Structure 1
Amino acid sequence: MHLTHYGHACVLVDTGSARLLFDPGAFSTGFETLDGLDAILVTHQHFDHVDADALRTLLRANPDAALVTDGQTAGQLDGVDARTAAPGDVLALGGAEVSVVGSGDHAQIHPDIPLVANNGYLVDGALLHPGDAYVPPGVDELATLLLPTGAPWLKVSEAVDYLRSVAPRTVVPIHEGTLADPALHYRFFDDLGPDATTLLVPDRETAVDV
């Protein structure tokens, strides 16, 4: 499985039988000219996870790609056809099996801010993009966790505890666009994460094996 990080929450996953792009949002760049996609998956409606104009450009370049979102996000994307999904669904996308996981809700930012829907996506039982929530992957052993690193809804101790609870073989930090010094947080993951977990920080827009 190959992974390319385009910054923040946007990640391209190539399983060898499917090319899946996650969360093409406003804090990410370099994904706009991708083609050959089997699916574009959006975890939730926030602008750092879906840029509607960039999404339309992607869909024009990838007319056969499925767009998968939660129902709330689909309702906000005018003129775009989306396949809606919710936790418990299992999707066949290209040659990949994608399970939708989580509670269905975004992590709480503040009690005065209403929760929005959030989908986590588990690819072939091996790679988890949780969106903006620390959700259990639903498998006993996870190969790769894409770990949200910095956001208004989290603190580093919560990220470390989630990493410990999932204990993946490899952790790839994402959702770092709000941080002035992401490497400071990465060091906590390396120092405090499970002994059997390898921290992998890919160069931006560079494919790596996971």
Structure 2
Amino acid sequence: MKATHFAHSCVLLETGGARLLLDPGIWSTGFEDLRDLDAVLITHRHPDHFDLDRLAALLAANQHAELVVGPGTDAEVAEAGLAARTVAPGDALEVAGVAVTVVGGEHASIHPEVEVPPNVGFVVGHGAFYHPGDSLVVPEQAIDVLGLPTGAPWLKLSEAVEFFRAVAPRVAVPIHERTLSAAGIGVTHQRFHDLAPKGATVNVLPKGETVDLG
């Protein structure tokens, strides 16, 4: 499996002959020029995961790509005139020939007075990659590569480390970093290295560079 990180939560996966783009949001760049996409998957409607304007243009340039969204995002894409498959936690489907399991359903709490939308996570390829969106839900499946949230208004470092340990992947790919300064990102990545579960490694993907994760 190959992965390309376009900053923050946007990741391109190339696996099983399919090209899947997850969570192209306003803090991610470089995905706009992608072609030959098979599907775009959106975990939830927060703009750092879901940039509707650039998404519409991307889909216009990739007309055979399927758009897959969770509850709470479907109304917005329908209003914009975009066709989408709406999925819910527990769904098991095939997207561009690759198995995808939908997990979670709830966004992590930011503050009791801050309303949050539904959030689904996507387990791709029977556990080959897990993108949790804005949640710390531990899936039932064994996970090979984890998209590990680095910084967020809803996240403490201790929570991210315990999530990393609970999922216990072979490799963690840090994502969701744009709420932190460059110094803060570096400190957090080092903590991930230092506190990783036994046998796991941390692979910080250079922005826009495709990396073979095995």
TM-score range, shorter chain: over 0.9
Aligned length: 208
Kindly report the root-mean-square deviation, in angstroms, between the aligned alpha carbons of the 2 structures: 0.9
| Number of the residue aligned with 1:100 | 102
Alignment of 1:112-191 (within 5 A): 112-125=113-126, 126-139=128-141, 141-181=142-182, 182-191=185-194
Query: For 1:121, what is the secondary structure of its paired residue?
Result: strand
- Superimposed CA distance per residue, residues 91-146 of structure 1 (whole angstroms, 9 cap, x where no aligned partner): 211121010011x111010101123110100001221000000011211x311000
Task: Provide the rounded CA distance (Å) in 2 between the counterparts of 1:59 and 1:184.
Answer: 37
1:4 aligns with 2:7: no
| Mapped partners of 1:193, 1:113: distance in 2 | 31
* Structure 2 match to 1:56: 56
Over the matched positions of the two proteins, sequence identity in percent amounts to: 51
Q: Deviations over 1:127-180 (max 9, x none)?
A: 1000000011211x3110000110000010000010011110000000001110
Q: Secondary structure at the match of 1:67?
A: strand
Paired residue for 1:46?
A: 46
SS at match of 1:150: coil
CA distance, structure 2, for counterparts of residue 99 and residue 200 of structure 1: 24
TM-score normalised by length of structure 2: 0.95
SS in 2 for 1:71: coil
**Which has a greater percent of strand?**
2
Paired residue for 1:207, among 188, 197, 210?
A: 210
* 2:73 pairs with 1:70: no
- Could you tell me which runs of 5 or more consecutive residues in structure 1 were left unpaired when the two chains were aligned: none
- The separation in 2 between residues aligned to 1:202 and 1:52, in whole angstroms, is 25
Distance 1:191 1:157 in 2: 12
Letter in 2 for 1:130: P
When the two structures are superposed, what TM-score results if normalisation uses the length of structure 1? 0.97
Displaced runs of 4 or more, over 4 A: none
Residue 192 (structure 1) aligned with residue 208 (structure 2)? no
Structure 2 residue matching 1:136: 3-state secondary structure: coil
